[in-house]
Amino acid sequence: MSELIAYLIVGIATGSIYALAAIGFTLVWQTSQTINFAQGEFVMLPAILVLLAVKLLGVPIPVALLLGAVAFVLLFGVGFKRFVVDPMLPHGVLPLAIATMALAIIMKEGAKDGFSAEAQSFPSPFPSDAIQILGTAISLQFVMTIVVAFATIAALQWFVTRTRTGRQMQASAQNPTVARILGIPVERMVMLTFVINAALAALASFLISPIYLAKFSNGETIGLFAFIAAIVGGFNQVRGALLGGILVGIFDSLAAAYVSTSYRLAVPLALLVVIILVKPEGLLGRKEERHV
Amino acid sequence: MNARTDFAAVGQGAPRRALSRIDPALVSIVLAAAILWFAPVGMGRYGTYVLTLWLVMAIAVMGLNLTLGVAGLKSLAQAAFMGIGAYTVGILTAKAGMSWYPAFAIATLATFAMGIVVGFPALRVRAHYLAFVTLAFTSLVWLVLRNEEWLTGGTFGLSNIPRPTLFGARLDDALSFHRFVVVVTMILTLAIWWLLRSPWGRAFLALRENPVRAASLGVDVRAYTLLAFAIGSAYGGMAGALYAPLVEFIDPSPFAISASFFLLLMVVAGGSGYLFGPFVGALLGVVLPEWLRFTGGLYLIIFAAIVLLLLIACPKGVLGLAEMLWARAARLVRRTP
Amino acid sequence: MNAVAGNAVLEVSGLEKHFGGIKAVRGVSFSVRKGEILGIIGPNGCGKSTLFNCILGQLAPSAGTVRLNGEDVTGLRPSDLNRRGVGRTFQLLQVFPDLTVRENLVLAGQEHHGTMMGRLFGPRDAGLSDAADRMIGFFKLDHLADAKAGGLSYGQQKLLDAAMAFMGGPQIVLLDEPAGGVNLTMLASLKDRLRAMNDELGATFVVIEHNMEFVMSLCTRVIVLAEGKVLAEGTPAEVRADPAVMEAYLGH
């Protein structure tokens, strides 16, 4: 029983990290129809940048975290929007999606050749002391991960629904034409979603790397789980991505414990296939009318 | 049958266009095959191998080009189908001692059938979801290849995969196997050429351009979607079935998710939807790295960067770019007296 | 049912469509007789488009049936419905811009004869090009047969769009705002061709239109929809004189 609780908490912790990536993914999809196949690499890279800053500049970890996050947001928030998405969007959604696949390969191979092909340990910002929850010893690291991720998601939700800028952002996503007529700076709002996406990815990176180590190939699994989370939850909303992320995290954690480790990855994949066949609009999504 | 508006009645009229002129694409295919037949002379074993690998990859890309470039279905499963084809042939020939030909036929049929099964979600979900479903499929296939050691050899792979024989002669040397692949590639290219000119080709195109209108004109979107997917997958399977005897040793790594991305990039790089696009794309993806060997491991980055720049400059790929430049040059020539 | 329907080609009865709590179509019934041109008009938001989409299998109706020659075809997929003889156009232009005019028409006709396998292994053309050329001649697009559809003027594309709906040899064609956005000259030739379609070849069709003049001069019978229900029905002259129609149209 206490074992199960431990696995559940680990699942919720990793799941909330997948949720961060999935939320960024859906935000960017909503405002600019960008299906970012490099989302996993977006979560992989910031940690590598931090380690690189430590190695090359010799700065202490907190400074490196800040440097890594800022550099990443500039490069893959602002830069990604300006130099990849903007020139590609007029050509349609498919070329853009494929361009993000090319970007994924560049980021992955770049991290491998520019930094390391081996997994590197990444410092945890939280102490690893164990605390007692429901009679089970749980590492504080997981608890704090859950706290930070949920706080971030709550803040984001508050920003999107309760602030003027957040509502303008939503309006830009739902109907850019009308938003423009209402005088909302749609372009700036779209850029804001890319910045938020990069910031969420950086946070996810700093939270997950202490658990799974920093490695160039991490993006594949993380990206896959973020996509699954987004689809399972219902693609179009923060709540859905959160629910999807946590489900994927729990499934993965339980699979690691109770299914053979070699088929651990298959369990979240099976979840995806079942959802798509049974409820393709996602758990919290709205059903759409048939059009073909 | 009630009296229909008997206007578009079919089957009348003289066969006016029956004796159409010879298609330049047809001539190109046969000519290219003839050149490739003799190309490796003096190239050595490795050069010949690279040339053969190019053709094998081009077959896989050709299949994906049909699924994605012609019918507009985003599939990230092509590497998995290639893997299924390669392992089917590997297991049946190296382990069960079957001849290559029936193994090839089984691989083709198996990937065709699996293509139909995997294509089903394409009917249920919005377009971009298909990419994720196929991504999931690729991961699952890769897991099976890696984990079912009793069947696939796991990470150790399968070795000593025999090459096919032809009229009793074993195609063991690089050149004769190359020529065998040239012939197979030519046949498969002709088949695609022929398919694209048939009503099916038109229906696939309609599916990509405007599925709602296509359905209103009687195009069975469900059947054609599954067929485009299945035929494309079968090409992946056939490419795998040639890949296994070419490299003689297979392991799961070339059939992972990143390989599916890579195949997709080759479709786009060459020119999505163009008959010869896959050959250009595979040239960039397979032969270019050989020229870039001095860069060490950087060739993947260089390839991806080339594709990214190409997409930003011209989303229709190398052939689209060539077509655009050609049209511009022609206009220039016409203008200058 | 059949006895009552007589020579009705299309028979819609009690059709309803609800979106959540909103009833867009509320029990619409009508039938279309062979060889007639039925017009459906009504102010914006009266449910015309929803009604069309329900009949044509784009939307699943909440209640009611659609019969084609007495046979229940409610909820059939659009492609199946088309192959049973229901042609249509869309409000927005829907031609294939990268195909030539002839290729567009060949595509529109190819799925109506033979089997899937026959289409792959049988004769490439099977007389479709000739059928397309006859249709091109009928719609007076001869000089454009080999031009890319995307390069045609808007009015010419509208003609092609309508021609495509007739390629499969349909029993009935439903035209969704054929006159929308077409200039006056083109409008005259479109009306002329549709009339000829009806006079010379006995084609049956239903037209949804905003352009009252177009409907009144083309149709043999008109149905007026308002708030999801049939408000009036009759010849163009009768409908024009109906005070309730005046109210619905001009009242706001």
Could you tell me the CATH number of the domain that includes residue C227?
A: 3.40.50.300
Q: Which of A287-291, B7-11, B302-306, B328-332 has the lowest mean pLDDT?
A: B7-11
Helices first, then strands: H and E counts in chain B: 15, 2
Cβ pair B146, B155 in contact under 8 A: yes
Read off the pLDDT of each residue in C231-247 and give the average, rounded to a whole number. Answer: 87
Reported as a pLDDT band with limits 50, 70 and 90, residue C1 is very low
Å between C239 CA and nearest CA of chain B? 29
Over residues B47-70, the pLDDT tens digits come to 899 999 999 999 999 999 999 988
Asked if A290 lies within 8 A of C58 by C-beta distance, the reply is yes
Q: C202 pLDDT exceeds 80?
A: yes
Asked if residue C150 is part of any domain, the answer here is no
B100 vs C23 pLDDT, higher one:
B100
Over residues C207-228, the pLDDT tens digits come to 998 888 888 889 999 999 888 8
Q: Which residues of A touch B265 (CB under 8 A)?
A: 98, 101-102, 105
Kindly list the distances between the CA atom of residue A49 and the CA atoms of A7, A73, A111, A214, C62, in Å, as whole numbers in the listed order: 30, 11, 9, 10, 56
pLDDT of residue A31: 86
Chain A residue set in contact with C, beta carbons under 8 Å: 289-292
Q: C5 pLDDT exceeds 70?
A: no
Asked if residue C127 is part of any domain, the answer here is no
Q: Which residues of A touch B305 (CB under 8 A)?
A: 102, 106
Asked if residue B117 is part of any domain, the answer here is yes
Measured between CA atoms, the residue of chain A closest to residue B208 is A94
Read off the pLDDT of each residue in B7-27 and give the average, rounded to a whole number. Answer: 54
Asked if C78 lies within 8 A of A292 by C-beta distance, the reply is yes
Q: Which of C14-18, C105-109, C117-121, C155-159 has the lowest mean pLDDT?
A: C117-121
Asked if C60 lies within 8 A of A290 by C-beta distance, the reply is yes
Read off the pLDDT of each residue in B154-159 and give the average, rounded to a whole number. Answer: 92
Measured between CA atoms, the residue of chain A closest to residue B301 is A106
pLDDT of residue B213: 94
pLDDT of residue C251: 56
Å between B301 CA and nearest CA of chain A? 5
Asked if residue B296 is part of any domain, the answer here is no
Q: B15 pLDDT exceeds 50?
A: no
Q: B16 pLDDT exceeds 50?
A: no
Asked if B213 lies within 8 A of C94 by C-beta distance, the reply is yes
Read off the pLDDT of each residue in B25-51 and give the average, rounded to a whole number. Answer: 89
Å between A291 CA and nearest CA of chain C? 5
Range ranked top by mean pLDDT from A69-83, A218-232, B31-45, B157-171:
A69-83
Cβ pair A271, A245 in contact under 8 A: no
Domain boundaries, chain A: 2-278
Sign of CA dihedral C227, C232, C235, C239: negative
Measured between CA atoms, the residue of chain B closest to residue A282 is B125
Sign of CA dihedral A13, A15, A17, A19: negative
Asked if C59 lies within 8 A of A290 by C-beta distance, the reply is yes
Asked if residue C144 is part of any domain, the answer here is no
Asked if residue B317 is part of any domain, the answer here is no
Asked if residue B288 is part of any domain, the answer here is no
Cβ pair A175, A30 in contact under 8 A: no
Chain A residue set in contact with B, beta carbons under 8 Å: 35, 37, 84, 87-88, 91-95, 97-99, 101-106, 108-110, 112-113, 220, 224, 227-228, 231, 260, 262-263, 265-266, 269, 272-273, 276-277, 280, 288, 291-292
Q: How many CA atoms lie within 13 A of A236 on its CB side?
A: 11
Reported as a pLDDT band with limits 50, 70 and 90, residue C151 is very high
The one-letter amino acid at B15: P
Percent of chain B predicted with pLDDT > 70: 91
Neighbouring chains of C at 3+ CB pairs under 8 Å are A, B
Reported as a pLDDT band with limits 50, 70 and 90, residue B307 is confident
Could you tell me the CATH number of the domain that includes residue B141?
A: 1.10.3470
Reported as a pLDDT band with limits 50, 70 and 90, residue C194 is very high
Angle of helix B127-147 versus helix B100-124 axis, rounded to 10:
140
Over residues C166-190, the pLDDT tens digits come to 998 899 999 998 888 888 888 899 9
Strand order in the sheet with C221-226: C86-88, C172-176, C205-208, C37-41, C221-226, C229-234
Q: B183 pLDDT exceeds 80?
A: yes
pLDDT of residue A80: 95
Residue B7, φ and ψ in degrees, nearest 5: -105, -45
Asked if residue C114 is part of any domain, the answer here is no
Reported as a pLDDT band with limits 50, 70 and 90, residue B6 is very low
pLDDT of residue C16: 92
Residue of B4, B196, B216 to mutate, interface with C, max C Cβ within 10 Å: B216
Q: C136 pLDDT exceeds 90?
A: yes
Reported as a pLDDT band with limits 50, 70 and 90, residue C250 is low
**B332 CB-contact burial (10 Å; exposed 0-12 / middle 13-18 / buried 19+):** exposed
Q: What would the two tokens of residue A211 be?
A: 């658990």
Read off the pLDDT of each residue in C134-138 and give the average, rounded to a whole number. Answer: 93
Neighbouring chains of B at 3+ CB pairs under 8 Å are A, C
Asked if B128 lies within 8 A of A35 by C-beta distance, the reply is yes
Taking alpha carbons only, the member of B241, B256, B226 closest to residue B137 is: B256
Asked if A35 lies within 8 A of B135 by C-beta distance, the reply is no
Asked if residue B310 is part of any domain, the answer here is no
Number of domains in chain B: 1
pLDDT of residue B335: 75
Percent of chain C predicted with pLDDT > 70: 96
Cβ pair A20, A148 in contact under 8 A: no
Nearest-CB residue to C126 (from B4, B6, B11): B11
Nearest-CB residue to A102 (from B136, B297, B307): B307
pLDDT of residue B21: 66
pLDDT of residue C20: 80
Taking alpha carbons only, the member of C70, C175, C170 closest to residue C111 is: C170
Tell me what ipTM this predicted complex has. 0.91
Cβ pair C106, B202 in contact under 8 A: yes
Could you give the CA distance from residue A88 to residue A95 in angstroms, rounded to a whole number? 7
- Residues 119-148 in C contacting B (C-alpha not used; CB under 8 Å): 119-120, 124-132, 134-135, 138
Q: Which residues of B touch C97 (CB under 8 A)?
A: 209
Q: A69 pLDDT exceeds 70?
A: yes
C48 vs B236 pLDDT, higher one:
B236
Between chain B and chain C, the number of residue pairs with CB atoms below 8 A apart is 137
Å between A179 CA and nearest CA of chain B? 26
Over residues B203-219, the pLDDT tens digits come to 999 988 899 999 999 99
pLDDT of residue B125: 66
Residue of A39, A93, A98, A236 to mutate, interface with B, max B Cβ within 10 Å: A98
Asked if B261 lies within 8 A of A276 by C-beta distance, the reply is no
SS3 C224: strand
pLDDT of residue B9: 38
Nearest-CB residue to B304 (from A92, A94, A105): A105
Measured between CA atoms, the residue of chain C closest to residue A292 is C58
Mean pLDDT of chain B: 87
Q: A197 pLDDT exceeds 60?
A: yes
Helix, strand, coil content of chain B in percent (nearest 5): 75, 0, 25
Flag whether the pTM goes above 0.80. yes
Asked if A101 lies within 8 A of B261 by C-beta distance, the reply is yes
C69: contact with B, CB 8 A cutoff: yes
DSSP label at residue B19: S
Q: B18 pLDDT exceeds 50?
A: no
Å between A177 CA and nearest CA of chain C? 19
CB atoms within 10 A of CB A219: 25
Å between A34 CA and nearest CA of chain B? 11
pLDDT of residue B7: 41
β-strand partners of A111:
none
The one-letter amino acid at C81: L
Q: Which residues of B touch A233 (CB under 8 A)?
A: none
Kindly list the distances between the CA atom of residue A255 and the CA atoms of A6, A211, B103, B154, C62, in Å, as whole numbers in the listed order: 13, 17, 36, 21, 43
Å between C138 CA and nearest CA of chain B? 10
Asked if B133 lies within 8 A of A273 by C-beta distance, the reply is yes
Q: Which residues of C touch A291 (CB under 8 A)?
A: 58
Q: B311 pLDDT exceeds 80?
A: yes
Asked if residue C163 is part of any domain, the answer here is no
Read off the pLDDT of each residue in C112-130 and give the average, rounded to a whole number. Answer: 85
Å between C56 CA and nearest CA of chain A? 11
Sign of CA dihedral A26, A32, A35, A40: negative
Q: Which of A28-37, A218-227, C120-129, C214-223 has the lowest mean pLDDT?
A: C120-129
Asked if residue B226 is part of any domain, the answer here is yes
Read off the pLDDT of each residue in A259-263 and give the average, rounded to a whole number. Answer: 84
First to last CA, chain A: 49
Asked if residue B237 is part of any domain, the answer here is yes
pLDDT of residue C163: 94
β-strand partners of C67:
C11, C72
* Distance from chain centroid for Cα C39: 10
Taking alpha carbons only, the member of A209, A196, A195, A219 closest to residue A54 is: A209
Between chain A and chain C, the number of residue pairs with CB atoms below 8 A apart is 7
Mean pLDDT of chain A: 89
Over residues B218-231, the pLDDT tens digits come to 999 989 999 999 99
Asked if B261 lies within 8 A of A104 by C-beta distance, the reply is yes
Asked if A292 lies within 8 A of B304 by C-beta distance, the reply is no
Could you give the CA distance from residue B287 to residue B303 in angstroms, rounded to a whole number? 11
Asked if residue C236 is part of any domain, the answer here is yes
pLDDT of residue C6: 57
Matching residue, tokens 């960024």: A24
Reported as a pLDDT band with limits 50, 70 and 90, residue A291 is very low
Cβ pair A222, A44 in contact under 8 A: yes
Residue of C25, C58, C62, C80 to mutate, interface with A, max A Cβ within 10 Å: C58
Q: C12 pLDDT exceeds 70?
A: yes
Over residues B98-121, the pLDDT tens digits come to 999 999 999 999 999 999 998 887
Spell out the residues 6+ positions from residue B17 whose beta carbon is closer than 8 angstroms to its own: C125, C129
CATH class of A2-278: mainly alpha
Residue of B312, B321, B324 to mutate, interface with A, max A Cβ within 10 Å: B312
Determine the structural domain holding residue B251 and report its residue range. 24-267
Q: A215 pLDDT exceeds 50?
A: yes
Spell out the residues 6+ positions from residue C241 whose beta carbon is closer than 8 angstroms to its own: none
Nearest-CB residue to C201 (from B5, B210, B221): B5
Q: Which residues of A touch C58 (CB under 8 A)?
A: 290-291
Mean pLDDT of chain C: 88
Determine the structural domain holding residue C205 and report its residue range. 2-94+170-250
Cβ pair C218, C177 in contact under 8 A: no
